[in-house]
């Protein structure tokens, strides 16, 4: 097919749909112990191999008893039971509870056969070897019944669920010792430019340290991927293509930074087209920063050409790369961590473009304010000084100070 026209800009959502129409990843699945699967995405549903709890458990410290023997009890006329012993944690009762008796039990302890309720310690009073009940309890009170939390065979977690600490704990409590998860996507990252040096080098006049490869690698890791560093390509087609080709072969997705704006040294588009069909699908997004972004698919693998400016590269990667990594894993979009705040300054925006603006959050006179952090797209500390981002909607023409806005927190 013919490549998309140069800078025929599209909104991000539309451009992503174009790419996804040509990219159908089929990631492998691996079997892991849940304790090794934090932040991994389930590839298959997980069902409970057993019921939870497996036995009737007390939810309080108190006395296990027959509820009927507490009926009518009050502080003025307490019911009296003999304390037949104590149920120690992790142990089952040797024999059934007989009428007229109670057993001291602790939170989480197993009820003995014959008991159907637990009265809290606070509603009792000891009297030698006996216990006075100062209130009645109903059958099942303060007791978790077998299967009350989870029934055998019940769906515990669905495919696409990202495993957090609570999911891992739940799986282990249910006796699940292995889960099927998507393999981590491998993302190759290649920076380009004669002016770039590794971060540990001392730049000469006209040179700068390459930070894009490392900020993008951190973003990939945070999103559950495995970054693969491909080094720095010179502004030479053969060197650029050789490194890009090796990254493309080794990874599931390829990120290229710099070289996607109009210039005499624009090699990125030519390199992508050489990597394979269908090639460049979209060159230009209706966003700022990040307008000259390239989206492509080459021989079944997604390729993204990002601007070289650090702020532009990182912000547009959040909008483009993160959805692609979620698509890879089958995970749904996460809930957005955000707050509502009052815009502190006017924000102008060109029609037909969605602006992403870093903001700092301040509290003033009991009101949360979002103050834009202005800076050029090459200044990474513009983001360091920000608490979050706000989106200026497409075709809005901008936002006025005093407007209530949604701020997406970093």
Look at residue 1 and tell me whether its pLDDT is greater than 80.
no
pLDDT band at 3 (very low <50, low <70, confident <90, very high): very low
Separation of alpha carbons 380 and 407, rounded Å: 19
Check if the beta carbon of residue 342 is closer than 8 Å to that of residue 410.
Answer: no
Q: Using pLDDT thresholds of 50, 70 and 90, give the confidence band for residue 7.
A: low
Burial 15-53 (b: 16+ CB within 10 A, else e): bbebbbebbebebeeeeeebeebeebbbbeebebeebbb
224, 257 Cβ separation under 8 angstroms: no
DSSP helix/strand/coil, 204: coil
What pLDDT digit, counting tens, does each position of 384-410 carry?
889 999 999 887 888 999 999 999 998
The pLDDT, as a whole number, for residue 378 is 58
Which range is least confidently modeled, 19-23, 131-135, 373-377?
373-377
Does position 264 have pLDDT exceeding 90, yes or no?
no
> Considering just the CA atoms, what is the radius of gyration of the chain in Å?
31
In the structure encoding, which two tokens stand for residue 317, read together? 């990667």
Look at residues 163, 174, 102 and name the one whose alpha carbon lies nearest to residue 133: 102
Burial class (CB in 10 A: 0-12, 13-18, 19+), 367: exposed
Q: pLDDT-derived band of residue 5, with 50, 70 and 90 as boundaries?
A: very low
CB 324 within 8 A of CB 281: no
CA 140 to chain CA mean position, Å = 39
- Residues paired with 355 in a beta bridge: 288, 392
151 lies in a domain? Answer: no
- SS3 assignment, position 270: helix
Q: Is 60 exceeded by the pLDDT of residue 252?
A: yes
In a domain, 311, yes or no: yes
- Residue 141: exposed, middle, or buried by beta-carbon count in 10 A (0-12, 13-18, 19+)? middle
pLDDT confidence of residue 11: 94
Residues 232 and 303 in one domain: yes
- Which range marks the domain in which residue 70 is found? 57-144
Query: In this structure, are 19 and 88 located in the same domain?
Result: no
Give yes or no for residue 262 having a pLDDT over 70: no
Query: Phi/psi at 13 (nearest 5 deg)?
Result: -60, -40
Together in a domain, 177 and 207? no
Q: What is the pLDDT of residues 57-114, one digit of tens each?
A: 999 999 999 999 999 999 999 999 999 999 999 999 889 999 999 999 999 999 999 9
For residue 22, give the nearest of 270, 298, 255, 325 by alpha carbon.
Answer: 298
Regarding whether 348 and 306 lie in a shared domain, the answer is no
How many structural domains are present in the chain?
A: 4
Q: Is 44 helix (H, G, I), strand (E, B) or coil?
A: coil
What is the pLDDT averaged over residues 124-134?
Answer: 97
pLDDT at 8: 81
Q: Report the pLDDT value the prediction gives residue 375, as an integer from 0 to 100.
A: 74
Q: pLDDT, tens digit, for every residue of 303-353?
A: 999 998 899 999 999 999 999 999 999 988 877 778 999 999 999 888 788
pLDDT above 90 (res 248):
yes
Residue 260: the pLDDT is: 47
Residue 324 lies in a domain: yes
Q: Which residues does residue 42 pair with via DSSP β-bridges, in sequence order?
A: 181
| pLDDT, tens digit (0-9, with 9 covering 90-100), for 16-64 | 999 999 999 999 999 999 999 999 999 999 999 999 999 999 999 999 9
304 and 206 housed in the same domain: yes
Res 118: pLDDT: 99
Domain annotation covers residue 1: no
User: Does 323 lie in the same domain as 255?
Assistant: yes
Instruction: Answer yes or no: do 235 and 365 share one domain.
Output: no
Stretch 376-388: mean pLDDT: 79
Rounded CA gap, 43 and 320, in Å?
23
How far apart (Å, rounded) are the C-alpha atoms in residues 188 and 247? 5
Summarize the confidence of residues 196-217 as an average pLDDT: 94
Query: Residue for token digits 């959805």?
Result: 323
Structure tokens at 33: 């112990």
Please indicate, yes or no, if residue 397 is contained in any of the structural domains. yes
Is residue 43 included in any domain, yes or no?
yes
Contact 305, 259 (CB under 8 A): yes
Q: Are residues 80 and 134 in contact, defined by beta-carbon separation less than 8 angstroms?
A: no
- 282 and 354, same domain (yes or no): no
Question: Residue 44: which CATH number?
Answer: 3.90.105.10
Query: CA 49 to CA 268: how far, in whole Å?
Result: 52
Answer yes or no: do 102 and 163 share one domain.
no
Does 261 sit behind a cis peptide bond, omega within 30 degrees of 0 on the bond before it?
no
Position 220 in a domain: yes
Same domain, 190 and 303: yes
Question: How is residue 177 annotated by DSSP?
Answer: -
Do 289 and 320 lie in one domain? The reply is: yes
Above pLDDT 70, what percent of the chain?
96
Is 135 among the domain residues? Answer: yes
- Return all residues near 258 (Cβ < 8 A) that are at least 6 apart: 191, 192, 193, 196, 212, 268, 306, 307, 308
With a cut of 90, say whether residue 166 has pLDDT above it: yes
Average confidence score pLDDT of the chain: 92
Quick: pLDDT tens for 265-298: 478 999 999 999 999 999 999 998 888 999 999 9
**What's the CATH code of the domain at 290?**
3.40.980.10
Residue 263 pLDDT: 55
Length of the chain: 410
């Amino acid at each position: 097919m013919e490549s998309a026209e140069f800078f025929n800009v599209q909104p991000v959502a539309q451009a992503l749909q174009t790419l996804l129409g040509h990219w159908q990843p089929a990631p492998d699945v691996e079997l892991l112990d849940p304790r090794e699967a934090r932040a991994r995405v389930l590839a298959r549903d997980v069902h409970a191999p057993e019921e939870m709890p497996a036995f009737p458990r007390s939810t309080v410290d108190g006395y296990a008893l027959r509820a009927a023997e507490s009926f009518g009890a009050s502080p003025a006329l307490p019911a009296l039971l003999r304390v037949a012993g104590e149920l120690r944690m992790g142990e089952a009762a040797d024999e059934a509870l007989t009428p007229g008796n109670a057993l001291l039990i602790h939170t989480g302890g197993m009820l003995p056969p014959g008991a159907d309720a637990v009265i809290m310690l606070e509603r009792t009073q000891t009297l030698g070897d006996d216990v006075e009940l100062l209130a009645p309890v109903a059958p099942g009170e303060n007791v978790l019944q077998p299967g009350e939390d989870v029934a055998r065979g019940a769906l515990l977690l669905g495919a696409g669920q990202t495993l957090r600490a609570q999911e891992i704990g739940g799986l282990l409590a249910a006796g699940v010792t292995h889960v099927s998860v998507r393999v981590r996507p491998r993302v190759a990252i290649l920076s380009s430019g004669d002016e770039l040096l590794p971060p540990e080098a001392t730049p000469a006049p006209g040179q700068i340290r390459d930070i894009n490869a490392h900020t993008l690698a951190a973003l990939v890791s945070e999103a559950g991927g495995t970054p693969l560093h491909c080094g720095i390509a010179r502004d030479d087609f053969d060197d650029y293509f050789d490194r890009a080709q090796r990254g493309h072969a080794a990874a599931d997705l390829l990120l290229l930074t710099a070289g996607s704006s109009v210039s005499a040294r624009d090699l990125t588009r030519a390199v992508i087209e050489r990597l394979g069909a269908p090639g460049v699908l979209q060159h230009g997004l209706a966003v700022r920063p990040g307008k000259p972004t390239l989206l492509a698919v080459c021989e079944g693998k997604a390729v993204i050409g990002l601007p070289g400016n650090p702020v532009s590269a990182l912000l547009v990667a959040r909008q483009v790369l993160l959805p692609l990594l979620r698509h890879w894993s089958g995970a749904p979009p996460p809930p957005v961590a955000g707050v509502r705040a009052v815009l502190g300054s006017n924000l102008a925006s060109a029609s037909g473009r969605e602006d992403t603006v870093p903001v700092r959050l301040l509290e003033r006179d009991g009101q949360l304010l979002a103050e834009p952090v202005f800076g050029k797209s090459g200044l990474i500390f513009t983001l360091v000084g920000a608490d979050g981002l706000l989106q200026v909607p497409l075709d809005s023409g901008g936002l006025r100070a005093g407007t209530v806005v949604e701020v997406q927190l970093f």
